[in-house]
Amino acid sequence: MPIVEKHDTVFFKNRREQLVDLIKKQYPDANNGIVLLFGSFESHAVFKQERSFFYLTGIEEPATALMIDLENKKTTLFVPNYAQERAKWASSAIFAEQKERFGFDELMYLGQECKGYQCHPFFTKEQYHNLLVIIDECVKNKKPIYTLNPQTVSGYVEQRFILQRIAQLISGFNSQLIDISPLVARLRRTKSRQEIEYIYKAIDVTIDAHDAVARAISADKKEYEIQALLEYMFTVRGCSIAFPSIVASGKNGTVLHYHQNNATLQNGELVVVDIGAEYNYYCADLTRTFPVSGTFSKRQRELYMIVLETQEHIAQLAQPGMWISNKEYPEKSLIHLAHKFLDKYGYGNYFVHGIGHFLGLDVHDVGDYSQPLQPNDVITIEPGIYIPEEKIGIRIEDNYWIVEGEAICLSEDLPKAPDDIELAMANTSNEEINNEEIQEQEN
């Protein structure tokens, strides 16, 4: 599959136009309102842009804001007014030519100068003066403000913080807000061919990392040594981690989000490796379970085959019209069908998490689980069996592209049959990737 290295110029402009169309269809009075979205603020951690903001703008610069005037069909990107030249401090800085590149009609300062080269969440009224003047006029004229403001415990936390900050500065602001997060989720859920290519690239890199893991696993190594190797493989391919890497050996493999990665691998145990690379903001999420000794025991192989058969069964059923989870229609609900399948072997109660999730810009991507699967969804399918008293955790996870009538496995090149797992581990006698192989990956 060909890989697109850069987003097309019209990529983000088209998405904004699609969002405006959805808003106008759902809200008859939308012609006199504005769309208002905010980028993330930076800290000393590695900066990652707010995903929906990136989806609609392509802008990776912190503390920026997007406004779409629905009456004049005018799109404005607001940027901080830094007191110091940001380009001297940070590699990503907004320049005038990006106005045309990303399809904005206007580039404006948020307000007066911010101290230094950063803008912070507790911004002052002066620092956002220009944007606040426009918002205040909208509030006074009772114009709706369409934004990301779900009333949930975890959705769009940073966006909602900024909205609350503005509400402290402009009376009546909250009364004009209309949440459009379901509309943005509808857009983000349906993946374009270009998005599929980005996800496929992230999957390809993650497969290489798993291959490296299979060669490196051996007794007496630390889990973090395996983590270091696989994340190195991400880095040399131009990717970052999509989520904290899980390398969980023995009983740790029964802890679903185990992140300590500091135990010692022991012969006779299994190690669950749940990892994902991120490429151009798009994520992979693949899990394999390896025998530390290089060979599954009879009991481990028996359980492993049950998990593998469950995944294959569910993957054959996954298609448009099925649900990831729907208790009202268990005969069309993948999670219910997975439990039913495992119950035949007596292990339904040992499968303690969901069968999968949407995948995209977020590893647990936005999407309406109350709606059935549809073409161009990308999901994971990840059954597992976890038996703490036996120190056995087994999970097999692959990434699937939903198309008419079926689910296409995007990660089919990653071995998962137990014989193939053992062969991959035996091919290099459990030695780490040598310098020559690393050089091949770099090239």
pLDDT band of 363, cuts 50, 70, 90:
very high
The SS3 of residue 199 is helix
Please compute the mean of the pLDDT values over residues 366-386 and round it to a whole number.
97
Class of domain 190-442: alpha beta
Q: What's the gap between Cα 334 and its chain centre?
A: 21
Closest CA to 282 of 64, 44, 48: 48
Residue 62 predicted with pLDDT over 70? yes
Closest CA to 63 of 91, 82, 76, 46: 82
Q: For 103, phi and psi rounded to 5 degrees? A: 80, 30
If you average pLDDT over every residue of the chain, what do you get? 91
Higher pLDDT, 433 or 380: 380
Residue 101 confidence (pLDDT): 74
Residue pair 147/177 in contact by the 8 Å Cβ criterion: yes
Closest CA to 205 of 230, 184, 172: 230
Token pair belonging to 153 = 């415990």
Residue with tokens 């809200």: 27
Max avg pLDDT among 107-116, 120-129, 212-221 = 212-221
Least confidently predicted of 120-129, 318-327, 363-372: 120-129
**H or E segment at 186?**
helix 181-189
Please compute the mean of the pLDDT values over residues 32-48 and round it to a whole number.
91
CATH of span 11-188? 3.40.350.10
Token pair belonging to 266 = 């022991």
Residue 102 confidence (pLDDT): 80
Token pair belonging to 228 = 């270091």
C-alpha distances in angstroms, 327 versus 209, 317, 336, 369, 373?
37, 17, 8, 11, 15
Residue 178 predicted with pLDDT over 70? yes
pLDDT band of 429, cuts 50, 70, 90:
very low
Please compute the mean of the pLDDT values over residues 175-204 and round it to a whole number.
97
pLDDT band of 431, cuts 50, 70, 90:
very low
Closest CA to 81 of 70, 97, 65: 65
Token pair belonging to 329 = 């229609």
pLDDT band of 3, cuts 50, 70, 90:
very low
C-alpha distances in angstroms, 363 versus 37, 56, 130, 366?
21, 18, 35, 9
Give the pairing of strands 145-147 and 34-38: parallel
Least confidently predicted of 100-104, 160-164, 356-360: 100-104
Residue pair 57/12 in contact by the 8 Å Cβ criterion: yes
Residue pair 324/373 in contact by the 8 Å Cβ criterion: yes
Higher pLDDT, 179 or 11: 179
Token pair belonging to 37 = 């979205």
**Tally of residues, the chain:** 443
The SS3 of residue 240 is strand
Residue 206 predicted with pLDDT over 90? yes
* Residues facing residue 409 across a β-bridge: 400
Residue 28 confidence (pLDDT): 83
* Residues facing residue 379 across a β-bridge: 358, 400
| pLDDT tens digit sequence for 236-250 | 999 999 999 999 999
Instruction: Give the Cα-Cα-Cα angle 24, 28, 30 (nearest 5 degrees).
Output: 55
* Residues facing residue 273 across a β-bridge: 247, 288
C-alpha distances in angstroms, 366 versus 198, 317, 328, 375?
17, 22, 22, 15
Residue pair 79/109 in contact by the 8 Å Cβ criterion: yes
Q: What ranges in 190-283 are assigned the alpha helix state H?
A: 193-216, 223-236
Gyration radius from the chain CA atoms: 24
- Sequence ranges of the domains in the chain: 11-188, 190-442
* Residues facing residue 68 across a β-bridge: 35, 75
Higher pLDDT, 441 or 331: 331
CA separation for the pair 87, 424 (Å, rounded):
46
Residue 321 predicted with pLDDT over 70? yes
CA separation for the pair 212, 434 (Å, rounded):
10
Residue 368 predicted with pLDDT over 50? yes
CA separation for the pair 2, 243 (Å, rounded):
25
Token pair belonging to 346 = 């007596």
Residue pair 188/366 in contact by the 8 Å Cβ criterion: yes
Residue with tokens 């990434």: 399
CA separation for the pair 67, 128 (Å, rounded):
13
In the DSSP assignment, the letter for residue 389 is G
The SS3 of residue 346 is coil
Token pair belonging to 297 = 């025991």
CA separation for the pair 330, 335 (Å, rounded):
8
Higher pLDDT, 376 or 46: 376
- In the chain, the percentage of residues whose pLDDT exceeds 90 is 82
Residue 438 confidence (pLDDT): 46
Token pair belonging to 407 = 């689910």
| pLDDT tens digit sequence for 391-407 | 999 999 999 999 999 99
